[in-house]
Amino acid sequence: MEFLQQLGLQQHNQGVSSGTIWINSNGSNIDSFSPVDGKKIGSVTSVDKNSYDSLIQTSLGAAKLWRNWPAPKRGEIVRQIGDALRANKEPLGKLVSYEMGKSLQEGYGEVQEMIDICDFAVGLSRQLYGLTMHSERPQHRMYEQWHPLGIVGIISAFNFPVAVFSWNAALAWICGNTTIWKPSEKAPLCGVAVQHIIAKVFEANNVPEGVNCLIQGGREV
């Protein structure tokens, strides 16, 4: 199917990524079948302990760098992701519909929700305010500054295979956090496709490897 090729999907896909790099794993394969016609769409490799541990370390290292990017600059990256999703709305919406089983218009609508949250997050990147307060000490002021959490883990369900990820990720990124996403094992190819789209933006902007990580697997992960 043409939309699968447009999204860079193969018959078999790696399931562990630190952003632009796909990490070899010895995990089991997850086959994805469409509820629309029962046909196999493709498969992905699950994360194993070694690739998981490697990914955690990469993401921790990226968090120390990403938090020092100015918030409006992080917002600019998210703005570009929104534009990339606009360009891929049709093929990604078709994939959501075909892999998850919701109507085509709902598939498009879910990608539109991703675009909308990116637009929202861009505005917030210039609104990470903190209070300033008077001090009892002469010539001094106190101020409130919010700090990133570090790594934010995202687990999404099959019925919203891409939107729930973006709701969390876009806000986490503008706040200076890195993310590790485990999509539903019932819609693994949606996760791979989104990773491909975001990776191109990150690579073009020299975003540190590990800011957006993907792992595939079942509930044991």
Q: What is the mean pLDDT of residues 61-71?
A: 98
Q: Residue 211: name the closest of 170, 163, 164, 155 by CA.
A: 170
Q: pLDDT tens, 157-172?
A: 999 999 999 999 999 9
Q: Residue 30: name the closest of 18, 17, 41 by CA.
A: 41
pLDDT mean across residues, the chain:
97
The confidence score (pLDDT) of residue 218 equals 92
Structure tokens, 61: 């290292």
Confidence of residue 1 (pLDDT cuts 50, 70, 90): confident
CA distance from start to end of the chain: 30
Q: What is the mean pLDDT of residues 40-45?
A: 97
Residue 88 to residues 3, 51, 66, 154, 205, Cα–Cα distance (Å): 9, 29, 26, 22, 19
pTM, 2 dp: 0.94
Backbone φ and ψ of 217, nearest 5°: 160, 180
User: What CATH class has 17-25+44-127+146-214?
Assistant: alpha beta
How distant is the alpha carbon of residue 204 from its chain centre?
A: 16
Structure tokens, 192: 């791979």
- Residue that is written with structure tokens 């896909």 in the block: 13
Containing H/E element for 143? strand 141-143
Report angle CA 203, 207, 208 to the nearest 5 degrees. Answer: 115
Q: pLDDT tens, 165-192?
A: 999 999 999 999 999 999 999 999 999 9
Q: pLDDT tens, 114-144?
A: 999 999 999 999 999 999 999 999 999 999 9
Q: What is the mean pLDDT of residues 185-206?
A: 98
Are 209 and 18 within 8 A, CB to CB? yes
Are 118 and 166 within 8 A, CB to CB? yes
3-state secondary structure of 174: helix
C-alpha–C-alpha distance, residues 112 and 93, integer Å:
9
